[in-house]
């Protein structure tokens, strides 16, 4: 565990904004972060993190700067580097990826609390900062300093971790390096298709809500997906489960999710989104194939929500310490009847509500011993990012890792209020896990 956790309750914008143009390092030299950004831009995208690390090491008078990214399981961090002669970890050409277990480590606490950890080592002071963007925990940044940092320097290092997160988000669009690093287990073709259907970020913090999703794939992928997007007026989210397994299920999921996105991006209302997506699925799939799902639209101005329930398991709601199933009318699944209409049902929201959407892989006979009500009460104090991880880990533990179907969960915390958000270097400290 960290010997010292240091943080500030809120970033001081007058300090952070000038920091982006100039910052004094431990020796009093002034380094321009604009130069850092330019050098990252000049480097190939696969070298962006190494270049940033080298520049940051000079700026901060650090012996080493390292980035560790979270893998797809969420239970391992991966340290990427250019080590052509490496003997440990995975290698691909000159690239090396070393896996570091997360549970019970200082890294685990840094990611959960979203605070900087400062620890004394024989070779100096190790500072570990979260690398997070809008609540999505990308990984952590390690710095080995020659001297113990002041509280102001710790705050600046936290800001640099946030800055590094944006560098990762931008540069991963141009290279497979980060994608390769996050794959600590091989993916089947169906899993590759499924992965492309998921949103780029599994967590999103905003002023009125926090949303986090997670998917534990079965050995033969069952076609689960979750999706969300945020626009000026509304939060849109969906969770779906395609019938069957392997590539057939992945292709069904592809048609439905793509059709929902196409309709949403064309500006259609929720009813038109689901009816047009249903018609597309019936047109482009074999007779008898179907997808269950729930599609939700939350009006951020009116603070109201509507939901379509196409043959899917009921969501659960944690409200004032009590967990209950949200009773919904059930329409038939998507893809069974062309021209089918679907009911728009109200989804009641109160500030403080936690709503959890699941697929039946979370409820199958093999996972029947998972007590959802108790688990949700026991994790009420945790950030949704940790809640979905906890539920995924519980299902794996109970089933011995032998999932017969994908197990997917989407956790929504609703705060109401205004759209403004208080962010501390990429994360909301108000809602972080203790």
Output the pLDDT for position 418: 83
- pLDDT higher than 80, residue 351: yes
Average pLDDT over residues 370-391: 93
For the whole model, what pTM was predicted? Answer: 0.89
- How far is Cα of residue 414 from the mean position of the Cα atoms in its chain? 17
Structure tokens given for 81: 């580097």
Whether 259 and 284 have beta carbons less than 8 Å apart is answered as no
326 pLDDT tier (thresholds 50, 70, 90): very high
Q: CA-CA distance, 257 to 246, in Å (whole number)?
A: 17
- pLDDT higher than 50, residue 1: no
- HEC string for the chain: CCCCEECCCCCCHHHHHHHCCCEECCCCCEECHHHHHHHHHHCCHHHHHHHHHHHHHHHCCEEEEEEEEECCCCCEEEEEEECCCCCCCEEECCEEEEEEECCCCHHHHHHHHCCEEEEEECCEEEEEEEEEECCEEEEEEEEEECCCCCHHHHHHHHHHHHHHHHHHHHHCCCCCHHHHHHCCCCCCHHHHHHHHHCCCCCEEECCCEEEEEEEECCCCCCCEEEEEEECCCEEEEEEEEECCCHHHHHHHHHHHHHHHHHHHHCCCCHHHHHHHHHHHHHHHCCCCCCEEEEEEEEECCCCEEEEEEECCCCCEEEECCEEEECCCCCECCECCCCCCCCCCEECCCCCCEEEEEECHHHCCHHHCCCCHHHHHHHCCCCCHHHHHHHHHHHHHHHHCCCCCCCEEEEEEEECCCCCCCCCECCECCCCCCC
Structure tokens given for 183: 């794959």
Output the pLDDT for position 132: 97
What pLDDT digit, counting tens, does each position of 25-46 carry? 433 333 457 888 899 999 999 9
Output the pLDDT for position 245: 86
- pLDDT higher than 90, residue 304: yes
Give CA angle at 157 (153, 158), nearest 5°.
Answer: 120
Average pLDDT over residues 416-423: 85
Q: What is the CA radius of gyration of the chain?
A: 23
- pLDDT higher than 70, residue 48: yes
- pLDDT higher than 70, residue 17: no
Burial of 151 per CB tally in 10 Å (0-12, 13-18, 19+): exposed
What does the domain layout of the chain look like in residue ranges?
A: 5-180, 187-414
We find that the CATH architecture of domain 187-414 is: 4-Layer Sandwich (3.60)
Average pLDDT over residues 157-166: 94
Average pLDDT score, the chain: 88
229 pairs with which residues across the strands? 236
Q: CA-CA distance, 392 to 383, in Å (whole number)?
A: 15
Output the pLDDT for position 24: 45
Topology at the third CATH level for domain 5-180: Beta-Lactamase (3.30.450)
Q: CA-CA distance, 229 to 109, in Å (whole number)?
A: 29
Q: CA-CA distance, 162 to 164, in Å (whole number)?
A: 5
5 pLDDT tier (thresholds 50, 70, 90): very low
Q: Residue holding tokens 């009125």?
A: 208
Q: CA-CA distance, 355 to 380, in Å (whole number)?
A: 11
Other beta carbons within 10 Å of 304? 13
């Amino acid at each position: 565990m960290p010997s010292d956790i240091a943080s500030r309750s809120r970033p001081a914008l007058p300090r952070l904004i000038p920091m982006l143009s100039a910052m004094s390092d431990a020796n009093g030299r002034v380094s321009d972060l604009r130069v850092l950004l330019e050098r990252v831009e000049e480097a190939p995208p696969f070298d962006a993190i190494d270049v940033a690390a080298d520049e940051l090491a000079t700026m901060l008078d650090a012996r080493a700067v390292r980035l560790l990214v979270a893998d797809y399981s969420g239970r391992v961090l991966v340290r990427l580097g250019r080590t052509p002669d490496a003997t440990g970890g995975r290698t691909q050409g000159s690239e090396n990826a070393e896996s570091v277990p997360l549970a019970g480590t200082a890294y685990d606490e840094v990611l959960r609390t979203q605070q900087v950890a400062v620890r004394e080592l024989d070779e100096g002071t190790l500072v570990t900062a979260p690398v997070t963007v809008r609540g999505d925990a990308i990984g952590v940044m390690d710095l080995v300093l020659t001297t113990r940092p002041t509280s102001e320097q710790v705050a600046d290092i936290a800001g640099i971790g946030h800055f590094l997160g944006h560098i990762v988000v931008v540069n991963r669009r141009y290279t497979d390096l980060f994608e390769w690093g996050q794959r600590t287990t091989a993916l089947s073709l169906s899993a590759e298709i499924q992965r492309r259907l998921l949103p780029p970020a599994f967590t999103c913090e905003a002023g009125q809500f926090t949303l986090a999703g997670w998917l534990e794939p079965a050995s033969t992928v069952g076609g689960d997906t979750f999706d969300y997007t945020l626009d000026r007026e509304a939060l849109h989210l969906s969770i779906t489960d395609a019938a069957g397994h392997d590539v057939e299920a992945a292709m069904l999921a592809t048609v439905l999710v793509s059709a929902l996105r196409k309709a949403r991006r064309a500006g259609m209302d929720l009813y038109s989104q689901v009816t047009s997506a249903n018609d597309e699925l019936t047109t482009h799939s074999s007779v008898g194939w179907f997808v269950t799902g729930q599609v939700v639209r939350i009006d951020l101005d009116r603070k109201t929500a509507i939901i379509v329930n196409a043959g899917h398991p009921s969501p659960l709601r944690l409200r004032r310490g009590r967990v209950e199933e949200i009773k919904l009318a059930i329409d038939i699944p998507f893809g069974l009847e062309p021209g089918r209409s679907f009911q728009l049902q109200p989804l009641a929201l109160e500030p403080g509500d936690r709503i959890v959407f699941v697929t039946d892989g979370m409820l199958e006979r093999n996972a029947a011993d998972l007590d959802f009500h108790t688990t949700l009460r026991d994790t009420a104090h945790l950030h949704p990012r940790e809640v979905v991880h906890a539920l995924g880990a519980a299902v794996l533990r109970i089933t011995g890792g032998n999932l017969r179907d994908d197990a997917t969960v989407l956790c929504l915390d609703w705060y109401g209020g205004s759209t403004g958000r208080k962010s501390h270097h990429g994360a909301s400290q108000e809602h972080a896990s203790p």
